[in-house]
C-alpha cells in the first residue's frame, strides 16, 4: 500500500483535477507559491504547481536553465520558457551578478555555456569580485600522473598557503569508473579524504547486503525480500529456480519461506544437494545471529554480521581497490551502529534499522558532504551541485569521459510522450555542457581543469574535451596551460609484500574469531598499504 514520490505527485494531480472543491480549498489555503530550482521540475510537478497557482496567481519561481542537469530524471528543458507563456504578466528578474566566484572563473564558464545557444535564456554572469588567479589547465601523460599532480598541488597549498583540506574538491563525471587513481594518490599522501559517488552510502551493494542480514535477524518471517537478496548474493548464491520452488511450496502450505528452509531435509522438495547444503548452513547461521541479538549489544551484533560471518573474506581475497573501498564502507556502517549505541543506551536492532531508514530518506550522504570535517572531497558533479569550494579540480577532461559517451536508452521514449518542446540539437552534448558549467561554478577562488594524454601505455591517445576547445585553452589569456612531466613510478614491491602479509593476517584472525579491535588494526593497515 506504499506510494513512491512519483505516485504522490500523480495521485495529488488526480485528486485535484477530479475534485474541484478540494482544489478550491487548496488554492484558498496556499495563497502564495514559491518554487526553488525550477529548472529541475518535471512535467507532472509543473502541472501541479500551475493548478495550485491558477486562482490567486501569486507564484514566484527561481531557476537557472544553465543548471538543468536532471533531464535523465524527467526534468524538461522548456519549463522556464513555458512559464513565461503561462504567466505572460509575470515580472522577469534576471539575476546575473555572481557573489561566489572570481572574474576569471566567471569569464571561463560563460565562454563554455554560451555554446548552448539558442536553447538557453540570454544572460551572462558578472561579478564585482577580484579578477583572481588564472584558470589552470594541467595536462598529464596518464590518469595516474594527473591524479598525482592534483594531490601534489593540494598538499603544497595546505603547507604553504595554510589552506584546510576541506577547501578542496576533485570533481569527476563518474566516481565509480574513474576515481581510483585519485584515491590511490590521496592514500599515498596520507591526506584525509572522502569519496561521494553516484550511489548513496545506503545504496551500495555491500551495505544493502549487511542491512538485509540485519532485517532478517530482526524479523525472519516478515523480511522475505531481504531473505531472497541474501540467498542470491555472491556469498550464498542459491539457484533462482530452486528458490521459486521453495516460495511456491511455502505459499501452498501456508508456511513462511524461512520455515520451509529450516525443514529443508525433512520436506519433499525437489532441490539439489548443493542448494540444501547452502540453505542448511545459512539457516544455522541465521539462528546463531538471532540468539546473539538477545545476548549482545547492538554494535557487537553488527560487528559479528560483518566480520565473523565470513562476509568480509571475499573482499579481502580480491585485494583490489574497489574491494578495499567496500571494506572501508563496512567499517563505516559498524561505526554508525557504535555511535547510535553510544547516543541511545540499550538500543535495539529494530530501532537501529528504523534510524537507517530515516537516515537514507533524509540523505545522510548530503549531510556528510556538508559536515564531513576537514577532508578533501572526491565527488561527482551531480552530487556537488549546490556546494561550493575555494579550490576545485575538474578532472578527466577528455572526450568520452567528460563529456561522456552518448549511451541511448534501451527503450527510447517516443517523442509524442515527451512534454515540452524538444530542441532540434545535440541534447546529450548540451546536457554535458550544462554539467560542465555546474562543475566550474562550484569554484570560489581557484579552478583547475585537468586531463591526460593516454589512459594507458598501449591505448590510443585521448582527445581533449570539447569544453576545453570551447574555452580555447591553448590561447586564452585567462588560462595557463601546464604539461606535467613524467615521473619514475614508485617502487612498490615492498608494499605488495606488506599487503600480502597483512591480508593473510586478517584472514587468519577472522578464522579464529579474534577480537574485532585486533582485526580493525590490520584492516586499517591494509587500506593504507593498498594505496601504494
What is the band of 215 on the pLDDT scale with cuts at 50, 70, 90?
very high
pLDDT over threshold 50, residue 1: no
Q: Tell me the mean pLDDT in the region 262-282.
A: 87
Nearest alpha-carbon partner for 476 in 104, 173, 192: 104
All three cell numbers of 28:
484558498
Q: Tell me the mean pLDDT in the region 144-160.
A: 95
Separation of alpha carbons 435 and 519, rounded Å? 42
* Proportion of the chain above pLDDT 90, given as a percent: 41
Nearest alpha-carbon partner for 165 in 419, 373, 476: 373
Which of 83-87, 169-173, 476-480, 515-519 is predicted least confidently?
A: 515-519
What is the band of 497 on the pLDDT scale with cuts at 50, 70, 90?
low
Report the alpha-carbon angle 450-453-458, nearest 5: 140
pLDDT over threshold 70, residue 219: yes
Tell me what pLDDT residue 25 has: 94
> To which H or E segment does residue 86 belong?
helix 79-86
pLDDT over threshold 90, residue 528: no
Tell me what pLDDT residue 494 has: 46
Q: Tell me the mean pLDDT in the region 344-371.
A: 75
What is the band of 137 on the pLDDT scale with cuts at 50, 70, 90?
very high
Number of neighbours of residue 331 by Cβ within 10 angstroms: 17
Tell me what pLDDT residue 191 has: 86
Separation of alpha carbons 117 and 121, rounded Å? 8
Separation of alpha carbons 134 and 191, rounded Å? 26
**Count H helices, E strands: the chain?**
23, 9
Q: Tell me the mean pLDDT in the region 42-47.
A: 89
pLDDT over threshold 50, residue 532: no
Tell me what pLDDT residue 451 has: 96
pLDDT over threshold 70, residue 371: no
Domains of the chain: 5-86 (3.40.50.300), 103-199+373-417+426-483 (3.40.50.300), 202-362 (1.10.486.10), 490-531 (no CATH)
What is the band of 531 on the pLDDT scale with cuts at 50, 70, 90?
very low
pLDDT over threshold 90, residue 362: no
Q: Beta partners for 389?
A: 443
| Highest-confidence segment of 283-292, 321-330, 480-489 | 283-292
Report DSSP state, residue 159: H
Report DSSP state, residue 42: B
Q: What is the pLDDT of residues 50-72, one digit of tens each?
A: 999 988 789 999 999 888 888 77
Tell me what pLDDT residue 359 has: 78
pLDDT over threshold 80, residue 464: yes
Q: What is the mean pLDDT of the chain?
A: 84
Q: Tell me the mean pLDDT in the region 287-303.
A: 90
What is the band of 409 on the pLDDT scale with cuts at 50, 70, 90?
low
Amino acid at each position: 500500500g506504499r506510494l513512491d514520490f512519483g505516485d504522490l505527485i500523480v495521485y495529488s494531480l488526480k485528486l485535484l483535477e477530479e475534485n474541484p472543491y478540494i482544489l478550491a480549498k487548496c488554492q484558498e489555503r496556499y495563497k502564495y507559491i514559491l518554487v526553488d530550482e525550477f529548472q529541475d521540475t518535471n512535467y507532472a510537478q509543473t502541472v501541479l504547481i500551475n493548478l495550485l497557482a491558477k486562482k490567486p496567481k501569486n507564484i514566484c519561481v527561481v531557476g537557472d536553465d544553465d543548471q538543468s542537469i536532471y533531464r535523465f530524471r524527467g526534468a524538461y528543458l522548456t519549463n522556464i520558457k513555458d512559464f513565461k507563456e503561462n504567466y505572460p504578466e509575470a515580472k522577469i528578474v534576471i539575476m546575473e551578478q555572481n557573489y561566489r566566484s572570481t572574474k576569471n572563473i566567471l569569464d571561463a564558464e560563460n565562454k563554455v555555456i554560451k555554446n548552448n545557444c539558442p536553447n538557453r535564456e540570454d544572460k551572462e554572469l558578472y561579478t564585482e569580485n577580484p579578477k583572481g588567479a588564472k584558470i589552470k589547465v594541467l595536462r598529464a601523460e596518464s590518469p595516474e600522473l594527473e591524479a598525482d599532480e592534483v594531490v601534489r598541488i593540494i598538499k603544497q597549498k595546505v603547507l604553504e598557503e595554510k589552506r584546510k583540506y576541506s577547501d578542496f574538491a576533485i570533481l569527476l563525471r563518474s566516481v565509480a569508473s574513474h576515481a581510483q587513481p585519485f584515491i590511490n594518490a590521496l592514500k599515498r599522501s596520507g591526506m584525509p579524504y572522502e569519496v561521494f559517488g553516484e550511489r548513496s552510502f545506503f545504496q551500495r551493494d555491500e551495505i544493502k547486503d549487511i542491512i538485509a542480514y540485519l532485517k532478517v535477524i530482526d524479523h525472519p518471517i516478515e523480511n522475505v525480500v531481504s531473505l531472497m537478496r541474501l540467498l542470491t548474493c555472491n556469498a550464498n548464491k542459491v539457484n533462482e529456480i530452486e528458490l521459486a520452488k521453495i516460495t511456491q511450496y511455502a505459499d501452498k502450505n501456508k508456511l513462511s519461506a524461512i520455515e520451509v528452509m529450516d525443514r529443508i531435509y525433512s520436506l519433499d522438495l525437489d532441490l539439489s544437494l548443493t542448494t540444501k547444503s547452502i540453505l542448511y548452513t545459512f539457516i544455522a547461521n541465521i539462528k546463531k545471529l538471532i540468539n546473539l541479538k538477545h545476548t549482545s549489544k547492538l554494535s557487537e551484533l553488527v560487528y559479528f554480521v560483518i566480520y565473523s560471518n565470513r562476509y568480509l573474506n571475499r573482499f579481502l581475497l580480491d585485494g583490489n581497490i574497489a574491494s578495499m573501498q567496500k571494506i572501508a564502507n563496512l567499517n563505516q556502517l559498524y561505526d554508525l551502529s557504535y555511535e547510535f549505541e553510544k547516543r541511545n543506551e540499550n538500543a535495539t536492532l529494530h530501532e537501529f534499522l528504523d534510524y537507517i531508514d530515516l537516515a537514507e530518506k533524509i540523505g545522510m550522504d548530503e549531510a556528510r558532504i556538508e559536515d564531513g570535517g576537514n577532508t578533501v572531497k572526491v565527488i561527482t558533479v551531480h552530487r556537488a551541485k549546490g556546494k561550493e569550494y575555494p579550490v576545485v579540480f575538474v578532472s578527466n577532461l577528455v572526450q568520452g569521459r567528460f563529456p561522456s559517451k552518448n549511451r541511448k536508452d534501451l527503450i527510447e521514449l517516443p517523442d509524442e510522450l515527451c512534454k515540452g518542446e524538444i530542441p532540434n540539437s545535440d541534447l546529450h552534448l548540451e546536457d554535458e555542457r550544462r554539467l560542465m558549467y555546474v562543475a566550474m561554478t562550484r569554484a570560489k577562488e581557484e579552478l583547475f581543469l585537468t586531463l591526460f594524454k593516454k589512459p594507458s601505455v598501449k591505448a590510443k591517445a585521448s582527445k581533449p574535451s570539447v569544453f576545453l576547445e570551447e574555452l580555447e585553452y591553448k590561447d586564452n589569456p585567462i588560462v595557463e596551460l601546464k604539461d606535467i612531466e613524467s615521473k619514475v613510478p614508485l617502487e612498490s614491491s615492498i608494499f605488495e609484500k606488506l599487503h600480502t602479509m597483512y591480508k593473510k593476517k586478517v584472514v587468519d584472525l577472522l578464522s579464529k574469531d579474534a577480537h574485532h579491535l585486533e582485526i580493525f588494526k590490520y584492516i586499517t593497515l591494509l587500506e593504507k598499504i593498498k594505496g601504494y
